[in-house]
Amino acid sequence: MKRFTHLVLIICVLSIWMTAGCRSAEMVHPDEIAFPPLEFQPPRPERVELSNGIIFYFMENHELPLINVTALVRTGSMYDPEGEEGLAEITGMVMRTGGTTAMTGYEIDMELDVMAADLSVGVEKDRVAVSLSALKESSELAMKIFSDILKNPVFEQKKMQEAQNIKVEELRRIIDNPQEMAFREFIRIMYGDNPRGRLSSVSSVEAITRNDMVMFHKRFFFPGNIMIAVTGDMTKEEAVTLMNRYFGSWDVSGEVPAIPMPDVHPTGSLYYIFKDISQSIIIIGRFAPGKDDPLYYAFKVLDFIVGSGGFRSRIFSTVRNELGLAYSAGSFYSAREGFGIFGTYAMTRTEATGKVLSVLQSITEDIKNRGVTGDELAWAKRSLINNFVFSYSSAEKIAFEYLLLEYYDLPRDFLESYRQRIEDVTENDLLRAAGTYLQDGEAPILVLGNEKKFDRPLSSFGTVKQIMMDDTAGSRNK
C-alpha cells in the first residue's frame, strides 16, 4: 500500500511539472515551425537499349533479395475497335490467365505459387503494364514466364470465357454503384466521340472473340513498342544478360496507329442521370494543361488549392467544413500528353443539390476573378514539394518514374526540375492558368440523383440532357 501511495505521489508531481512547463512554453502552429531547406537529389537509373529496340531502365537495390520488373506497352483501352470496347482489358486478363506456348495457365499459376512470385497485367486507357516481383534465386524461371506471357500468349478459350463472364458481371453491377456510374459517364461526356471516350458494355464484351485478342496482341506487342523497368538485387551486367536471354532474340515489328486528340473546347452542357437515392453526385469537368504545357505547374498548384489539397482546400473547407453540405467534395487533375482533365465534385444530400452546385461554380469563378491568397499559395507549394519526395521511396518507383518520362516524351530533367518549377509558381501564374482553363461556358456538368427532391430545378442552371442508363452499362441521351 505504501508503494502504491508513493507511485501516485510521483505521478502527481510529474503531472504538475509537465503542466507548468506546457503553460510556460509558447504554443506554435505547425505551419510556423522552421525547418532547414529540403535537400533531395533523386538518383537516376541507367538506360539500356537492346538491339531489337526494347528500352529498359535499371537500378541496383541490394536491400532485399528481390527483382522487380515492369513492362509498359504502348496500347490500352483507347485502341479498342468500335463495337469491341473492352478488348484491351480482356486481352490483358487472358494474357495473365490463359497460358503460353510453353505452359498452361494452371501450370503458370502453380510455378508462381511455388516461387512466391507475383505477376500481374494491368490495362489503362493509354498503356498496358505487365509487372513481376520474384526472389532473386527464382529470377531465371520467373523471367522466362514473364517474357513468355509478353511474347507468346495462347489465350485459352476457357480462360477467355471466364474473363468475359467476370467483366460482364462487373458491368451489370455498375447500375447499383452510383459513384462509379457517375464518374464513368463523366469520362464518356468529356471525351465525346474521341476513342478515349469509348467504354465497354455487355454487348461489346460479348462480341470479343479469341481471334480478336490474338490480333490485338500481334498489333501492339512487339519490341519497339515496349519499355521495361528492372530493379533489384543484381548488377547491371546481370540485368543485361537476363534481358538479352529472354528478349534479345524477339524479332518482330509493328506500327501503333495514332489516336486523335480530343476536342478540348466542349460545350458546357448539363447532363442528368436519374437515380432514386438519398444523395446526389455532382461533377463539373474541364480540359486542362498537359504535362508538356508551361502552365502545368501553375495548374498543379491551382488544383491543390481548389480541392485536391484536403481539409484546407477551398471546396472541402467551404462545402463540407463551413456549410456541412457534403460528405465528400474536392477536385482532381490528371495531366496527359497534350491535354489534361480537371474536375470538381461533391456528393451531397439530395435536398442540397442546387446549392452545392452553385457553390462549386462560385469557388472556381472566385479564383478565376480574384486569385488566391499568399498563404494559400505558400501552403500548396510547400505541400506539393514535400509530397513529391515520396515518388522516390524505392528503387522500383524511381526506375518506373524515369521510364514514364520517356514513355510520355517528357524532358529528361522533368523530375529533377519539378520542385523548383513548383516553387517558382506565382499568384499571377495562377490567375493566368485559371483564366485560361476555368471557363464555365466550356464546363460540362453531370448530376446524378432524383431531381424531384432537389432544392431547385436543374433547368435553372441550363438546358438539361438526360442520360438513360440500363444494366448493360450502356447509355443514351433522352
The three-state DSSP-derived secondary structure of 224-273 is HHEEEEEEECCCHHHHHHHHHHHHCCCCCCCCCCCCCCCCCCCCCCEEEE
pLDDT for residue 14: 47
Residues 458 and 269: beta-carbon distance below 8 Å: no
Q: How would you classify the pairing of strands 270-274 and 445-449?
A: parallel
Q: Which of 286-290, 325-329, 355-359 has the lowest mean pLDDT?
A: 325-329
Average pLDDT over residues 154-169: 97
- Residue 70 to residue 229: CA distance in whole angstroms: 5
Residues 291 and 399 in one domain: yes
- Please tell me whether the overall predicted TM-score, pTM, comes out greater than 0.85 for this model: yes
Residues 350 and 242 in one domain: no
Residues 452 and 312 in one domain: yes
Q: Which three cell numbers stand for residue 451?
A: 431531381
**What is the overall mean pLDDT for the chain?**
91
The yes-or-no verdict on residue 22 having pLDDT over 60 is no
CATH of the domain at 197: 3.30.830.10
Residues 284 and 138 in one domain: no
Q: What confidence tier does 284 reach under pLDDT thresholds 50, 70, 90?
A: very high
pLDDT for residue 24: 45
* Angle of helix 210-220 versus helix 157-173 axis, rounded to 10: 90
DSSP secondary structure letter of residue 103: S
3-state secondary structure of 361: helix
Residues 243 and 279 in one domain: no
Query: In 261-419, at which residue ranges do the beta strands (DSSP E only) sit?
Result: 270-274, 279-288, 326-335, 340-349
Average pLDDT over residues 105-110: 97
- pLDDT digits 0-9 by tens, 381-409: 999 999 998 778 899 999 999 999 999 99
Tell me if 4 is assigned to some domain.
Answer: no
- Residue 472 to residue 190: CA distance in whole angstroms: 21
Q: What confidence tier does 361 reach under pLDDT thresholds 50, 70, 90?
A: very high
Residues 277 and 397 in one domain: yes
- How far lies 152's CA from each of 42, 98, 155, 219, 413, in Å? 37, 11, 9, 13, 36
The total of structural domains in the chain comes to: 2
Q: What confidence tier does 29 reach under pLDDT thresholds 50, 70, 90?
A: low
Average pLDDT over residues 303-327: 94
Residues 364 and 409 in one domain: yes
Residues 64 and 140 in one domain: yes
Residues 87 and 230 in one domain: yes
Spatial neighbors of 163 by CB under 8 A, at least 6 apart, are 90, 93, 94, 97, 98
Residues 222 and 283 in one domain: no
Residues 167 and 238 in one domain: yes
Tallying the residues shown for the chain, one arrives at 478
Residues 211 and 165 in one domain: yes
Range of the domain at 87: 46-247
Tell me if 229 is assigned to some domain.
Answer: yes
Q: What confidence tier does 442 reach under pLDDT thresholds 50, 70, 90?
A: confident
